[in-house]
Amino acid sequence: MANFSDFNTGVYFNGLFGTMPAFPMEYAGWEAAARAQLDDVMYDYVAGGAGDEFTQDANVRAFQRWGITPRMLSGAAERDLSVELFGHRFASPVFMAPVGVVGVMDAASETPGHGDLEVARTAAATGVPAVMSTLMQDPMEAVAAELGDTPAFFQLYTPNDRELAESFVRRAEAAGFAGIVVTLDTWTLGWRPRDLQHAAMPQLQAKCLANYFSDPVFRAKLDKTPEEDPGAAAIQWALTFGNPGLSWDDLAWLRGLTDLPLLLKGICHPDDVRRAKDGGVDGIYCSNHGGRQAASAPALDLLPDVVTAADGMPVLFDSGVRSGVDVVKALALGATAVGVGRPYGWGIAMGGAAGAQHVLQCLLAEADLTMGLNGYASVAELTRDVLVRIP
C-alpha cells in the first residue's frame, strides 16, 4: 500500500536529477505565488475576512493550542487514511471546501476564467472530493463532467425563490452530484472591509453566476437574456440571492427536495446539531465560513461539542486548516472529513489544476508523515486523547 508521503520522497529523488518543485511547499508560499497572479481586488476578496479579521486569524491559531502525543514502536510504517462517507470510500479524509470565486481565480491556467473546471479536474486527478459552490463560473453540468470517478457535492446558497432552489437541486441530482450541502450563514454578506474599500463584489460584475444564468427558472424572470444584458441579470441575482427568512420551519421542505445526502453547513452549536438531526439531515458541516461572514469563536473550539451532539452522524469541518498537521488535529477532535479552502484556492491561482494538485499532495504527505512519525496507522486511531492542550 502506497503512502501519501511517497510524494515527499519523490521530491528529494527528483532533486538528484536537477528537477526542483514547480510550486512552493507550504501555505505562505502558496499565498505569495497566488498573490503574484491576482489583482488587488481578487486577492483581497479571497484573503480577507469579516470585520477586523480576528475570527479568521483565530481559526488558524486555534490549531496551535493542540499538540499530538507521539507513540513509538507502534508499527505505523504503512498508514490508512481512507474514510467512508455517505456510501463512498475515499482514499483520504481531505476534501476541497466550496470557494465561490474560484472560477475566476485561475489566472495562470491555460484557459483563464474556468477555475471550477480546474477544481473538478483536480478532484479527478487526486481522488479528493470537492464541494462545489452555487457560485460557479461554468454551469454545474459542465463542472460535473470533469470530475471523472471522484464524487462531488453541490453546495446550495438557498435563494429566496423556492422554485429556483428546487431547480438547482434537481439539476445537481441529474448532473450526478453525490449530496447537497446547504450553507446557512450567508443569507446576506458579512461586513468585509477589504471588499468595501474596493467597492467591488465579483457577482455584481456578473462573474461566477453561470448556474443562475443557465437556469430556466432564473432566465424566465429576466426581460433580456444574461447574454444580452449581463448587468441586469446580475441585479436580478442580487435580488434573489440569500433567504433571510430561512428557518428551522423550512428544514422539512429542504429535506423533501432530494433523496441525496443532505448536509447543513455552518452548524456550530450542539443544540442546532440535535435539531438538524431530528429534521432528517444526513450530516453536519461545522464551519464559521473561514471567518469571512461574522465574528465568532474559532470553529475548531466548537468542533468537539458538535461531534458529541452528532452522536455518530458524519461531521465535516473546515475553517483555518493550513497544513497536514491541522488535518490530523481536526480528525482527532472528531471530524469525519476535513475541508481546505484558501490553500487549494491559492493553488488554482498559482497554477490551475496542477497548482491545486500540488497543494493537496503537500497537505496529504504532511498529514501522512505526521501520523506515521507519531505512531498512528489509521484515521480510526486519531481520538481526542491523542491530543494535548497547550496553554
Domain 22-67+78-389 belongs to what architecture?
A: Alpha-Beta Barrel (3.20)
Residue range 131-161, pLDDT digits in tens = 999 999 999 999 999 999 999 999 999 999 9
CB count within 10 Å of CB 211 equals 28
* DSSP tag of 97: P
Q: Is 319 annotated as a binding residue?
A: yes
Which residue in the block uniquely carries the three cell numbers 488535518? 327
Residue 308 marked in a binding site: no
Mean pLDDT of 167-188: 97
Q: How far apart are CA 382 and CA 41, in angstroms?
A: 40
d(CA 353, CA 367): 21
Residue 194 has pLDDT above 90, yes or no: yes
What does DSSP say about strands 262-265 and 83-85: parallel, antiparallel, or unpaired?
A: unpaired
| Residue 389 is assigned to a ligand binding site | no
Query: What are the φ/ψ torsions at residue 285 (nearest 5 degrees)?
Result: -120, 100
State residue 362's pLDDT score: 98
Is 318 labeled as ligand-binding?
A: yes
Q: In Å, what is the CA distance from 21 to each residue of 8, 199, 216, 321, 354? A: 11, 38, 46, 23, 12
The residues, any chain, with a CB within 8 Å of residue 99's CB and separated by 6 or more, are 46, 105, 119, 133, 341, 342, 344, 345
Q: Does 183 appear as a known binding residue?
A: yes
| Residue 276 Cα to chain centre, angstroms | 21
| Residue 385 CB coordination number (10 Å) | 8
Q: Is 287 marked within a binding site?
A: yes
The pTM of this model reads 0.98
pLDDT of residue 131: 98
| Per-residue model confidence as pLDDT tens digits over 228-286 | 999 999 999 999 998 999 999 999 999 999 999 999 999 999 999 999 999 999 999 99
> Is 188 annotated as contributing to ligand binding?
no
What's the burial of 80, exposed, middle or buried (CB within 10 Å: 0-12/13-18/19+)? middle
Q: Give how far Cα 7 sits from Cα of 13, 122, 144, 236, 357, Å.
A: 10, 16, 28, 47, 12
Q: CB under 8 Å to 191, separation ≥6 — which residues?
A: 50, 51
Residue 289 annotated as catalytic: yes
Whether 27 has a binding-site annotation, put simply, is no
Helical ranges in the chain per DSSP H = 6-16, 27-35, 40-47, 54-63, 115-126, 140-144, 162-175, 193-198, 210-213, 216-219, 230-240, 251-256, 270-278, 299-310, 324-332, 342-374
* CA distances (Å), origin 199, targets 44, 121, 194, 195, 209: 12, 33, 9, 6, 19
pLDDT above 90 (res 331): yes
What are 388's three cell numbers?
494535548
pLDDT tens profile 10-30? 999 999 999 999 999 999 999
> pLDDT for 60-107, tens place per residue?
999 999 999 999 999 999 999 999 999 999 999 999 999 999 999 999
Residue of 2, 3, 1, 20 whose CA lies nearest to 11: 20
pLDDT at 1: 53
Q: What is the mean pLDDT of residues 290-302?
A: 97
Please give the share of the chain, as a percent, with pLDDT higher than 70.
99
Of how many residues is the chain composed?
391
Residue 249: predicted pLDDT: 97
Give Cβ neighbours of residue 149 (< 8 Å, ≥ 6 apart). Answer: 124
Residue 205 counted as an annotated binding residue: no
Q: Is residue 325 a contact partner of residue 346, using CB atoms and an 8 Å limit?
A: no
**pLDDT category, 391, cuts 50, 70, 90?**
confident
What is the C-alpha to C-alpha distance for residues 327 and 366, in angstroms, rounded to an integer?
Answer: 9
289 is an annotated ligand-binding site residue: yes
Query: How far apart are alpha carbons 235 and 241 in whole angstroms?
Result: 10
Q: What is the pLDDT of residue 46?
A: 98
Q: Any binding-site annotation on 195? A: no
Catalytic residue among 88, 114, 269, 289: 289
Lowest mean pLDDT among 96-100, 106-110, 311-315: 106-110
